[in-house]
Structure 1
Amino acid sequence: MTPTPELKSTRPGAPDSADQAYTDFTRSLSYGDYLQLDVLRSAHQPVTQAHDEHLFIAIHHVSEVWLDLIVRELSAAMSLLERGITDAPLKMLSRVVRAEEQMTNAWDVLKTMTPTDYLEFRSAFGQASGFQSERYRMMEFMLGNRNEVMLRPHAHREDLHGPLKAAMEAPSIYDLTLCLLAGAGFDLPAEVLERDYSQPYTSHPAVKAAWMEVYRDTGRHWELYELAEKLLDVEDQFRRWRFNHLTTVERVIGFKRGSGGTSGAGYLKKALDIVLFPELWEVRTEL
């Protein structure tokens, strides 16, 4: 009987059989060595015996890894935009959106934890809270959501506080985009281009008028139009992350105060009103 392709391919010595894989890593990097999986797993340290604390830690670890990637991609994109390059940043911003999607989907896994499950370990981690995430705060500052109060949780560590403060006082990705808009010949006032970057950006009529022109003649201003739409992709997905965060918190703790001292769901609900790139949303109404 002629063996089936599936059986034939698994015979020892066959080109596509498992015994052709490398198995001796005494002198080279293995998968676990390259990814430092021992270090990764050693960081998973529950402080109680509660079964769901493992889930809670895993979700936050994964989110921090995605946040670190987002910050790296935003930093690279902003560096290029500062030099007037608009095409390469689009790929980086697309990657940011996909990473945001993964963070958003993670809440669905965490929602499998019930209020009773959470209460088994909630008191064990004290005032620790995602509110204190340095990578999350860096992402927000780079996107333009600035608030000096957000620096305070990191005041005890200059290695975190210093870079965050510098990011808060530097142009956001939207500020850099507005400089490109001005560089393309649009008349933007000094109060927009030379503003105090440590303060949140607010909508300006001149900026909206400029974007209106871009959107009404996309062929002529294609690069700016494409960049604007990509920025909206980033904010759109960020809004979904915020909303899923809110519903997860409501589902698990209701309207109890958050572990970091905020009002919890109430604080998150207020955050839904934050608009990072206001004129890009406003032009939709007037086109």
Structure 2
Amino acid sequence: MTYDPSKDGAETDFRQRMSYGDYLQIDHILSAQKPLSKAHDEMLFIIQHQTSELWMKLALYEVEAARRMIASDNTAEALKMLARVARIFEQLNSAWDVLRTMTPSEYTRFRDDLGQSSGFQSWQYRLIEYAVGNRNLAMLKPHEHRPDLLEKLEAELARPSLYDEVLRRLARLGLPVPAAVLERDLRQGWTMNEDVMAVWATVYRDPSRYWEAYEMAEKLVDFEDYFRRWRFNHVTTVERVIGFKRGTGGTAGIDYLNRMLEVELFPELWRVRTEL
């Protein structure tokens, strides 16, 4: 028999009610895809990057909340949020599989229409890096034409990163985080610190004693694990589609992306494993 949802009690008249599409602003979202060419695959390219930006918006929302919780010593809540960030980057990783269905010949049909726009200009991606601790001041330049975006990025640089807040929490737990680390210039990028690695070694050698610190460490490693995979998948997708051509934004393309693979967000948490 033909199913009639109204006979099951479902609402079907939305002339005076908020519908699913109203709540989610679907009309605005679905009208935001405006290809500049007649190439069939440009729609894939646009939606891939728009949905990635939506996931990054959620990642920023969760990172900000986790950082706030850690700063107020509500670590248990922060751990749930950090676990969600890792899953978000798992979703972002899966999206590359769809984009890789586009071949080099298909991409060349609309690549010139992109002009100088490039993914490395994503201010949300940059804000994620700044928020977790990878603070490269040279990356402010692509956003200087937008005072509103520059203000967001500068405001982030003035705050302790997620990693800074974790280290401050370790100090409040009684672990010997050096004062120079706790009082460092927040605008500067994080560099490997042997004293911090020694603190993490203490935690990892006795997890039951330092369980809260141990859980925070593993959640950070989970996040960076998926973040690294996302970067690696970016590299392989770009190489598969454009080879070793320069990027649309003027970067060295694959060479630039490969250099990004070498950046470590939480270097002590990876290197401490060799010391155990």
Same fold by TM (over 0.5)? yes
Q: Distance in 2 between matches of 1:27 and 1:108?
A: 42
Post-superposition offset of 1:189: 2.0
Whichever residue aligns with residue 55 of structure 1, its letter is: L
Q: Distance in 1 between matches of 2:233 and 2:86?
A: 15
1:85 aligns with 2:68: no
Match of 1:247 in 2: 236
Match of 2:113 in 1: 124
Whichever residue aligns with residue 102 of structure 2, its letter is: M
Post-superposition offset of 1:169: 2.9
Of residues 23, 38, 44, the one that matches 2:33 is 44
Whichever residue aligns with residue 243 of structure 1, its letter is: F
Q: Distance in 2 between matches of 1:183 and 1:155?
A: 38
Of residues 146, 162, 166, the one that matches 1:177 is 166
1:208 aligns with 2:188: no
1:71 aligns with 2:71: no
Give the match's secondary structure for 2:75.
coil
Match of 2:207 in 1: 218
Aligned length: 275
Match of 1:53 in 2: 42
Describe how 1:22-41 pairs up with structure 2 within 5 A. Answer: 22-41=11-30
**Gap regions ≥5 residues in structure 2:** none
RMSD over aligned Cα atoms? 1.2
Q: Distance in 2 between matches of 1:40 and 1:283?
A: 45
Q: Distance in 2 between matches of 1:11 and 1:169?
A: 58
TM-score for both structures, normalised by structure 1: 0.93
Q: Is the 8 A contact 2:6 2:12 kept in 1?
A: no
Question: Judging changes above 3 Å, is the alpha-carbon distance between structure 1 residues 24 and 168 closer, same or farther for their aligned structure 2 residues?
Answer: same
Give the match's secondary structure for 1:87.
helix
Give the match's secondary structure for 2:233.
helix
Cα displacement string for residues 104-130 of structure 1 (whole angstroms, at most 9, x for unaligned residues) = 111110000000000000001200111
Question: Judging changes above 3 Å, is the alpha-carbon distance between structure 1 residues 171 and 124 closer, same or farther for their aligned structure 2 residues?
Answer: same
1:114 aligns with 2:103: yes
Q: Is the 8 A contact 2:57 2:124 kept in 1?
A: yes
Whichever residue aligns with residue 37 of structure 1, its letter is: I
Give the match's secondary structure for 1:174.
helix
Of residues 143, 150, 156, the one that matches 1:161 is 150
Higher relative contact order (CA 8 A, sep 6+): 2
Q: Distance in 2 between matches of 1:100 and 1:121?
A: 28
Post-superposition offset of 1:234: 0.4
Whichever residue aligns with residue 157 of structure 2, its letter is: M
Q: Distance in 1 between matches of 2:79 and 2:178?
A: 27
Cα displacement string for residues 3-61 of structure 1 (whole angstroms, at most 9, x for unaligned residues) = xxxx5xx565xxxx564321100011111111111111111000110000000001001
Question: Judging changes above 3 Å, is the alpha-carbon distance between structure 1 residues 222 and 36 closer, same or farther for their aligned structure 2 residues?
Answer: same
Q: Distance in 1 between matches of 2:13 and 2:6?
A: 14
Whichever residue aligns with residue 263 of structure 1, its letter is: A
Q: Distance in 2 between matches of 1:216 and 1:11?
A: 61
Describe how 1:207-286 pairs up with structure 2 within 5 A. Answer: 207-286=196-275
Q: Distance in 2 between matches of 1:253 and 1:204?
A: 38
TM-score for both structures, normalised by structure 2: 0.97
Q: Distance in 2 between matches of 1:151 and 1:222?
A: 38
**Gap regions ≥5 residues in structure 1:** 1-6
Which structure: larger Rg?
1
Question: Judging changes above 3 Å, is the alpha-carbon distance between structure 1 residues 247 and 11 closer, same or farther for their aligned structure 2 residues?
Answer: closer
